């Protein structure tokens, strides 16, 4: 493990206390490209692969653990991903306080902490308050993507998403996922070696702020959606 000393977060890692409320993505990235967000970046494997492969999209990571935030920021920097930023913050707080309405094209949540003990279930991220924020911050037609290895958590996630203003659709594998992978994060690779099953779900925000139009849903391995959605609130 690299020590904190070896990790350089600038210019990718941001100090949450210096950020304006609400954020202006165009000012932050210096362009009006669509913005995708990952919650719980861990070491930043997904964000780095995506940011490297898709320079026409901006990527923003939220990570609570200080060392992981530093590691992911340093890794993005080493890979020259100037279309990425990462902040150390608690996700629900950050969404509520900093993220503008209708401003994200995709919200990615991969292997969220499952809090498996019954008395800790209330700490799980994906519950109604989080979904209300997802509905608020996605652009019309924007997508939420979730993968977990935890069946009990998934059995809570699926009905909660279905009860929200999002419409469940077919899950799209990101292009950076390797053969047979759902998404290709560190946790997926580790859990795959252990032979665990995976559960994936995608949902879309409708054009009229309500349910999406797509009719299908699944746990399969479709092609990556070609997301060309623009942030609705960009004023350069
Ligand atoms: C199980 S790990 C998965 C990491 C990565 N997504 C992967 O698949 O390899 C969950 C990550 O989410 C972060 N996390 C958990 N709850 C969070 C929250 N409320 N806000 C921000 N990050 C959170 C944890 O610190 C951890 O790095």
CA of 55 to the centre of ligand 1 (A): 24
CA of 68 to the centre of ligand 1 (A): 9
| Angle between helical axes of 128-137 and 151-162 (0-180°, round to 10) | 50
Q: Which two tokens stand for residue 16?
A: 């949450």
Catalytic pick among 6, 32, 74, 113: 113
Q: Which residue reads 């919200």 in tokens?
A: 107
Domains of the chain: 1-100 (3.40.50.150), 107-170+177-223 (3.40.50.150)
Cβ atoms of 150 and 124 within 8 Å: the answer is no
- Does the pTM of the predicted model rise above 0.85? yes
CA neighbor of 226 nearest in space, from 175, 179, 178, 170: 175
| pLDDT for the residue numbered 182 | 93
Ligand 1 — pocket residues by CB below 6 A? 39-40, 42, 62-65, 68, 90-91, 110-111, 113, 125, 185-188
162-200 in b/e burial notation, b at 16+ Cβ within 10 A? eebbbbbbbbbbbebbeeebbbbbbbbeebbeeeeebbb
| Angle between helical axes of 128-137 and 91-98 (0-180°, round to 10) | 40
Query: Which of the listed residues 113, 134, 200 should we mutate to test ligand 1's pocket, taking the one with most ligand atoms within 8 A of CB?
Result: 113
Active site residue 213: no
Among 55-59, 111-115, 204-208, which is the least confidently predicted range? 204-208
Sign of dihedral through CA atoms 134, 139, 143, 149? negative
**Nearest atom, ligand 1, residue 110 CA:** 6
Q: Is the pLDDT of residue 226 over 50?
A: no
Sign of dihedral through CA atoms 109, 114, 118, 123? negative
CA of 41 to the centre of ligand 1 (A): 6
CA neighbor of 197 nearest in space, from 111, 117, 118: 111
Coil vs helix vs strand at 194: coil
Q: Which two tokens stand for residue 227?
A: 């997301």
- Segment 178-220, tens digit of pLDDT: 998 999 999 999 999 999 999 999 999 998 645 554 333 333 3
Query: Which of the listed residues 64, 108, 193, 200 should we mutate to test ligand 1's pocket, taking the one with most ligand atoms within 8 A of CB?
Result: 64
CA of 64 to the centre of ligand 1 (A): 7
| pLDDT for the residue numbered 142 | 98
């Amino acid at each position: 493990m690299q020590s904190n000393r070896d990790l350089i977060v600038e210019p990718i890692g941001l100090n949450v206390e210096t950020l304006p409320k609400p954020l202006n993505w165009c000012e932050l990235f210096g362009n009006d490209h669509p913005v995708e967000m990952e919650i719980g970046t861990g070491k930043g494997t997904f964000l780095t692969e995506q940011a490297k492969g898709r320079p026409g999209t901006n990527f923003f990571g939220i990570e609570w653990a200080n060392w992981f935030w530093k590691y992911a920021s340093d890794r993005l920097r080493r890979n020259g991903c100037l279309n990425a930023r990462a902040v150390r913050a608690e996700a629900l707080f950050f969404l509520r306080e900093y993220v503008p309405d209708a401003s994200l094209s995709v919200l990615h949540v991969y292997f969220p902490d499952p809090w498996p003990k019954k008395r800790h279930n209330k700490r799980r991220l994906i519950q109604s308050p989080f979904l209300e924020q997802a509905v608020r911050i996605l652009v019309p037609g924007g997508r939420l993507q979730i993968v977990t290895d935890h069946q009990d958590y998934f059995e809570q996630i699926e009905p909660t998403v279905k009860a929200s203003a999002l419409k469940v659709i077919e899950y799209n594998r990101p292009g950076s996922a390797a053969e047979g992978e759902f998404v290709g994060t560190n946790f997926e690779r580790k859990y795959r070696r252990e032979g665990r099953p995976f559960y994936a779900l995608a949902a879309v925000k409708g054009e009229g702020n309500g349910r999406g139009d797509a009719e299908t849903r699944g746990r399969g391995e479709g092609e990556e959606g070609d997301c060309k959605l623009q942030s609705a609130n960009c004023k350069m």
